Structure 1
Amino acid sequence: MKNQLRHLSLTTRLSISFSIICCTVFFAIGLLSYHNMQHLLAKQRDQNLTARVERIEIFLQDQESFQILVQHPRLYENMLGKEDNLLILKNQQLALIEINPLKVHIPDMAESKTITFLDNQSEFATTRLAYKTVVFNDQHYQLIAGTQLDEAQSTLDQYLWKLILYSLLGIVMASLLGRWVGLYLLKSLNNLIEQTHKIQGTQPHQRIEVKSTTVEVDKLSSAMNAMLEKIQINYDQLARFSEDIAHELRTPLNNLMGQTQIMLMQSRSQQELEQLLYSHLEEYERLSKMIDNMLFIARSEHSDYIIEKENIDLSNLILELVHYFEFLAEDRLMRFVLELEKGIQIYANADLLKRALSNLIINAIDYGFEDQDIVISTKSTENHIDIEVLTKNVFIDKQHLKHLFERFYQIESSRHAKAKTGGLGLSIVKSIMMLHNGEATAYNTQEGIVFSLKIKYLT
């Protein structure tokens, strides 16, 4: 059944669902109406019987009228006007009035000072009875009035058939109307499906344009366009990545092939061959480093990649790194200026955090000017911790800032002076921050370019 429903269109499903709802609603309304009609007829029947008993009671209050009624019971039978009606007036000895043309069985009745109702038999009743004990001339009389149930049942049967007919007509009309409304409301959705089918991989900038009358379809088309935009961005990044990685791999490979070809042109001494091998080893190490970095980035992008974390004193970690890189900075006459907030504890992976900060420090040393300061500062806020590395008097154009953390992205003017991470240093920083549910950003200040790491307290 589920497989069959799966092949039905949304319009058909909505029509079927609407028809089922209409059937349920009409059935419930019809059932309530039938029971209400049954109750009204029963109430009206009892009211008629009550009025009949009260009229006879009025006759009994007048001696002369009572004698006429007793002597001529047919008069009241003619007043009733229906052959199936019943009226009996009796005392303990005899029946003074007995109008019972259908010979209905009258059950035994106890005395009752109020009008009481009952059926002539507990099962398959045919007559509704009302009786009351009245006192006249110091004698107790039992007054019984009755009417047949067939008339009310006939009215109910006619009403039931009309309910069924009108309900069926209502269900059919509501189903057809629901089908039409479904087609109208889902017209824009079908147009969206058609336009989606028309999108080809050869037209990456193509977008969905649907004139819709429903908010949901507008939201869906906007969401799909946003998804296409993200796909386009990722596609562009992948294309740029493919181009950059080809460039990065081509350079060391060309060096290896060129050096080897030159050496093979003539016989070489053992010392020259050793120098060639050392040169090749450097290129191999560069390729190995690049591959390791790419593998790390690829693994870190998986949601199931888990890292071990611990509480770390941030100031001690930064001081350790600064002490390690002091000699490199001194070679370029650069100084570290530390503005560290004391007592900051951070929950992170120490090795990865060191790697991220090391990449930023190496970046600052490689691209900073000689005899300038590298300012490393920390600041804690209510929700997160900021770690900033400022390279003074170095500025990056605004159009490059949003691409700095992409793989192999290099500012053209500095492509010849790459860092020691094979063009993946800042991308690794971004990946490490993602593993810590943090973020890495870069922005210009009046003093220079700032690379900022933002980590939440509990990540």
Structure 2
Amino acid sequence: MMRLPSSLTTRLALAYGLATAAILVSVAAYLSSALSAQLEGRDESELVSEVLLVRHLLREVRSEAEIRADTHRFADIAMGHEGLILVVRTRQGEPLVTLNPRNEAVPPLRVLPASTQPDKDMLQTWHPRNGVPSRGIAALGQLGDSDKAVEIVVLRDAGYRVALIREYRYRLLWATLCGAAVAAGLGFVLARRGLRPLRRMATDAAAVTTSRLATRLDVGSAPAELRELAAALNDMLARLQDSFSRLSEFSADLAHDFRTPISNLIGQTQVTLAQSRGVAEYEALLESNLEEYERLARMIENMLFLARADHAQVALGVRTLDAREELDRMAEYFEAVAADRDVALAVGGHALVQADKTLLRRAVTNLLDNALRHAPAGTTVRLDATRIPAPGGGATTSIRVSNAGPAIPPETLPHIFGRFYRADPSRRNSATSTGLGLAIVDTIMRLHGGSVTVRSLDGETVFSLQFPADGAAAAQAPARVA
């Protein structure tokens, strides 16, 4: 199988050449056919005209002897007519005038009466020595005013016409080939010039590096056909820049969060090993180290979950759940923690939700843990489940977790679902928080095709989980901030 050239310019040039060749071949075939038909029609008209002319000349003679004596009058008729054969003979077949340069055998033809006006429909086919089908006609012609008649035979050897058409087609073929070659050459030049903006775009794209992710392609100067591509590439570069920035921030935060427990482990161990200690001191060191190990384990587990979710490796077991029942169980689980912090828990609403049971509990648990850590003593943390009719039919399920307390600053809201992001710059809660809880909630909701939103006004913060009616996992979408 023949492979196409890898160069788009060459492909376009070949396409131009082939298209031109196809057009020229079609035109040449039409012209050749038209010329052949025109020549054939002209020959047939000349055959009829020759018969009429010979009849006219025969009207001017009185006898067969006069024809023999003045044959040049008839010979002049055939001059300038290539392939024309003229025979005038008596009724008995005795030749009077014979103009047959190639000595072709005169075929027997049906003879038209003298009173019949010849036309093209009366022409008959015969075959000369070259085998080319030719046309001819035979008719009687009266001598003068007498009743005596002679036989007129007019033939036209079509071999000359076939040779002429063959030569004509040969020239057309060369003209077609030359035209296709010229079209391919011009097409190459035009395609190369036309693809110059694409090469310039490729050069600009090649200049994009990790240190120049802010570079964008010039959409305004691009041709209309390439603007959509340039805009799509710019959008891709913007996404890459955003992802790279978040990855850089994530790497920095990850290094910071791993450094703290590791530094604690190293420092406490070095201090303890600096001199002999008692069993109680070693036990205290091990307990402290265990807390740091557990924190590192939680961070690694959360990071592995996020990595699997990013690569669509988390399998969802979506089913219909009683949202109120799930909220009651989680409230019961956190009841002791809430009591230690002098915070009450309240559960309200009734709704069914299409969700993965384990992931639903993990998302609500993260929000509830976050609410209990920020709720002032003596306040109430609420968990509510409601069913909200959707505009296009069906309904969505909303699970809200709300707590009283200081409002989250507006400039912080767009970032709280980022990984390792903490609204507290001092990170005073770093010992108990990994900074991945809300990022995991956002990922879980995107896996379900839903979303998580936050509203923090007038001393109350409300996180809402919006589950779609069918519960199907859809393409990931960024979390919205209300």
TM-score range, shorter chain: 0.7 to 0.9
* Aligned positions of 1:410-421 closer than 5 A: 410-412=422-424, 415-417=427-429
Q: Would you say 1:128 and 2:134 are equivalent positions?
A: yes
How many residue pairs get aligned? The number is 451
Q: Would you say 1:364 and 2:371 are equivalent positions?
A: yes
1:294 to partner: Cα distance = 0.8
Secondary structure of 1:402's aligned partner: helix
Counterpart of 2:342 in structure 1 is 332
Evaluate the alpha carbon distance shift between residue 269 and residue 92 of structure 1 in structure 2; reply closer, same or farther with a 3 A threshold. Answer: same
CA contact (8 A) 2:130 2:159 kept: no
Of residues 393, 396, 419 in structure 2, which corresponds to 1:385? 396
Q: Would you say 1:175 and 2:184 are equivalent positions?
A: yes
Evaluate the alpha carbon distance shift between residue 285 and residue 149 of structure 1 in structure 2; reply closer, same or farther with a 3 A threshold. Answer: same
Counterpart of 2:86 in structure 1 is 87
- 5+ long unaligned stretches in structure 1: none
> Which residue identity lines up with residue 84 of structure 2 in the other structure?
N
Of residues 379, 384, 397 in structure 2, which corresponds to 1:376? 384
CA contact (8 A) 1:87 1:100 kept: yes
Superposed CA deviations along residues 174-210 of structure 1, whole A, max 9, x for unmatched, are: 2332122112211112222222333333333333347
1:133 to partner: Cα distance = 6.3
**Partner Cα distance (1:173, 1:158) in 2:** 23
**Partner Cα distance (1:138, 1:363) in 2:** 131
* Aligned positions of 1:49-64 closer than 5 A: 49-53=47-51, 59=56, 64=59
Counterpart of 1:46 in structure 2 is 44
Secondary structure of 2:427's aligned partner: helix
* Aligned positions of 1:291-370 closer than 5 A: 291-330=300-339, 331-340=341-350, 342=351, 344-346=352-354, 348-370=355-377
Counterpart of 1:449 in structure 2 is 461
**Partner Cα distance (1:75, 1:164) in 2:** 43
Q: Which has the higher helix share?
A: 1
**Partner Cα distance (2:428, 2:140) in 1:** 124
**Partner Cα distance (1:433, 1:415) in 2:** 26
Counterpart of 2:210 in structure 1 is 201
CA contact (8 A) 2:324 2:385 kept: no
1:243 to partner: Cα distance = 1.2
**Partner Cα distance (1:68, 1:329) in 2:** 143
Counterpart of 2:478 in structure 1 is none
Structure 1 range deviating more: 220-229 or 96-105: 96-105
Evaluate the alpha carbon distance shift between residue 67 and residue 329 of structure 1 in structure 2; reply closer, same or farther with a 3 A threshold. Answer: farther
1:230 to partner: Cα distance = 1.5
- 5+ long unaligned stretches in structure 2: 473-482
Counterpart of 1:25 in structure 2 is 23
**Partner Cα distance (1:88, 1:413) in 2:** 120
* Aligned positions of 1:81-230 closer than 5 A: 81-82=79-80, 84-88=83-87, 93-94=92-93, 99-102=98-101, 103-109=103-109, 115-121=121-127, 124-125=130-131, 128-131=134-137, 144-209=153-218, 212-230=221-239
CA contact (8 A) 1:388 1:450 kept: no
CA contact (8 A) 2:445 2:452 kept: yes
What TM-score do you get using the length of structure 2 for normalisation? 0.80
Sequence identity, in percent? 26
**Partner Cα distance (2:160, 2:304) in 1:** 91
**Partner Cα distance (1:433, 1:142) in 2:** 106
Q: Would you say 1:430 and 2:436 are equivalent positions?
A: no
Counterpart of 1:13 in structure 2 is 11
**Partner Cα distance (1:397, 1:434) in 2:** 25
What TM-score do you get using the length of structure 1 for normalisation? 0.83
Evaluate the alpha carbon distance shift between residue 368 and residue 89 of structure 1 in structure 2; reply closer, same or farther with a 3 A threshold. Answer: farther
After superposition, the CA RMSD in angstroms is 3.6
Counterpart of 1:273 in structure 2 is 282
CA contact (8 A) 2:403 2:460 kept: yes
Superposed CA deviations along residues 390-437 of structure 1, whole A, max 9, x for unmatched, are: 424553233322322221111125732359552111111222223323
> Which residue identity lines up with residue 185 of structure 2 in the other structure?
L
**Partner Cα distance (2:326, 2:305) in 1:** 22
CA contact (8 A) 1:336 1:374 kept: yes
> Which residue identity lines up with residue 120 of structure 1 in the other structure?
W
Evaluate the alpha carbon distance shift between residue 418 and residue 337 of structure 1 in structure 2; reply closer, same or farther with a 3 A threshold. Answer: farther
**Partner Cα distance (2:105, 2:9) in 1:** 61
CA contact (8 A) 1:191 1:210 kept: no
